[in-house]
Chain A
Amino acid sequence: MRLLLSFFLISIICLKVQSQNIIGRDELQYLINKQDDTLRIFNFWATWCKPCVQELPYFEQVNAQNFNKKQKLYLISLDFPESIKRKLKPFIKNKGIQSEVIVFDGGNPNVWINQIDSSWSGSIPATLLSFQGRKHFQESSFDSTEQIQDFIKNFINRFKS
């Protein structure tokens, strides 16, 4: 029985590693609206988006620097589910991306873009911070790790004062 259970668990883990996580808009809203003590960073990007790809290393660095803090980075890929195998996976492997990559397939963008931030026109890159129901959004790219850190600091300072 125990053997069967471990076999079952291992196969789940293998499946999870093999298949890229794809989420819809309810799951994304669930992550954004979590009320725990973790600050969440959602970077919306795609492999075809040049400025997105350029800023990824900065986000990776922010993630590495804050590894032990209660902070979580999600690289939300807007690559189409069909291009996961052909483009996204090789990209993640070649660039050695360490942060969590989640593919988002939200249906009609006119619905989900407004749910994420009403000021967002839909261009990427775009980044959302969320912490205990509060949010902070930017629809443009970052040019350095420091810029992202400042963006996060501004957000934290705002509800400290």
Chain B
Amino acid sequence: MRSLLFCVFTLTLFTSALDAQSYQIGQKAEDFSLKNVDGKMVSLSDYPAAKGFIVVFTCNHCPYAQMYEKRIIELHKKYAKKGYPVIAINPNDPEVVPEDNFESMQKLSNKKKYPFAYLFDEGQKVYPKFGATRTPHVFILDKNKVVKYIGAIDDNAKDETAVQIRYVEDAIAAIESGKDPNPNTTKAVGCSIKKKG
């Protein structure tokens, strides 16, 4: 019993340590280098003119990610020219979800004509740093890579025409006017990020 308690205790410590490692609002994100669907490695530093980034953890297989595909494309089209490109990252382990393997990512990107980088988090090293838990999960960074917003794209996954609050657009508008987004964190339903074990 004592050893069990010890295990639970250490595990709890370990998980809280893991939690503490992921980025919070106001923290600076580390740059990363991940393979894009075109085969080239992409980093945030490849966008020297960026005023910020819309980092979206998303994937092929998840119905919620699919419902937001078009909206993510629209976000990039609207905001990349204003200095806020979308950087999409697939965090799933393709051994768990074969539909999310690199080839399928390439196919989807071609089919939907993704105008943004769609990166593969090979080895699943990047998403835990961000603390992403689901797809889609958005992190908006400012030009210094400081995390300004974490959460949902808007308040209605199913029906774009019924959207009342556009969280990502509001957050960028706030950053543009030198303010902090409010809310800076939102919740949404999504698919859990798939990993082994």
Q: Is the CB of A109 within 8 A of B192?
A: no
- A-side contacts of B167, CB under 8 Å: 110
Q: A110-B186, A139-B133 are in contact. Are A124 and B152 (CB under 8 A)?
A: no
- The reply to whether the CB of A48 lies closer than 8 angstroms to some CB of chain B is yes
Tell me, in angstroms, the Cα distance from A125 to B188 when the chains sit together: 13
Tell me, in angstroms, the Cα distance from A48 to B183 when the chains sit together: 29
Tell me, in angstroms, the Cα distance from A122 to B153 when the chains sit together: 13
Q: A108-B165, A139-B133 are in contact. Are A125 and B155 (CB under 8 A)?
A: no
Tell me, in angstroms, the Cα distance from A121 to B134 when the chains sit together: 8
- The reply to whether the CB of A66 lies closer than 8 angstroms to some CB of chain B is no
- A-side contacts of B186, CB under 8 Å: 110
Q: Is the CB of A123 within 8 A of B155?
A: no
Tell me, in angstroms, the Cα distance from A113 to B155 when the chains sit together: 12
- The reply to whether the CB of A120 lies closer than 8 angstroms to some CB of chain B is yes
- B-side contacts of A141, CB under 8 Å: 192
- A-side contacts of B151, CB under 8 Å: 110
Contact bitstring A92-130, B, C-beta under 8 A = 1, else 0:
000000000000000011100110000011111100000
With beta carbons under 8 angstroms apart, the residue of B137, B189, B194 that contacts A113 is B189
- Expressed in whole angstroms, the minimum distance between the Cβ of A137 and any Cβ of chain B is 13
CB-CB nearest in chain B for A79 = B63
Kindly state the interface size class of chain A when it binds its partner.
Answer: 20 to 34
CB-CB nearest in chain B for A121 = B133
Tell me, in angstroms, the Cα distance from A126 to B192 when the chains sit together: 10
- A-side contacts of B134, CB under 8 Å: 121-123
Tell me, in angstroms, the Cα distance from A110 to B185 when the chains sit together: 9
Tell me, in angstroms, the Cα distance from A114 to B152 when the chains sit together: 14
Q: Is the CB of B188 within 8 A of A109?
A: yes
Q: Is the CB of B191 within 8 A of A123?
A: yes
- Expressed in whole angstroms, the minimum distance between the Cβ of A111 and any Cβ of chain B is 9
- The reply to whether the CB of A11 lies closer than 8 angstroms to some CB of chain B is no
Q: A108-B155, A110-B151 are in contact. Are A123 and B63 (CB under 8 A)?
A: no
Interface centre among A80, A108, A113, A140 (most CB of B within 10 A): A108
Q: Is the CB of A140 within 8 A of B187?
A: no
With beta carbons under 8 angstroms apart, the residue of A50, A51, A122, A140 that contacts B189 is A122
Q: A109-B187, A113-B187 are in contact. Are A123 and B152 (CB under 8 A)?
A: no
Residues of B62-114 contacting chain A, CB below 8 A: 63, 97
- The reply to whether the CB of A49 lies closer than 8 angstroms to some CB of chain B is yes
- B-side contacts of A108, CB under 8 Å: 155-156, 164-165
Q: Is the CB of B158 within 8 A of A110?
A: no
- The reply to whether the CB of B115 lies closer than 8 angstroms to some CB of chain A is no
- B-side contacts of A78, CB under 8 Å: 189
Tell me, in angstroms, the Cα distance from A121 to B191 when the chains sit together: 11
With beta carbons under 8 angstroms apart, the residue of B63, B155, B190, B191 that contacts A110 is B155
- The reply to whether the CB of B193 lies closer than 8 angstroms to some CB of chain A is yes
Q: Is the CB of A124 within 8 A of B63?
A: no
5 A-B pairs closest in CB distance: A123-B134, A113-B187, A123-B192, A121-B133, A108-B155
> What are 22 A-B contacts defined by CB distance under 8 Å?
A49-B191, A49-B192, A78-B189, A108-B164, A109-B155, A109-B187, A110-B151, A110-B152, A110-B167, A110-B186, A110-B187, A110-B188, A113-B189, A120-B187, A121-B134, A122-B152, A123-B134, A124-B189, A124-B190, A125-B192, A139-B133, A140-B192
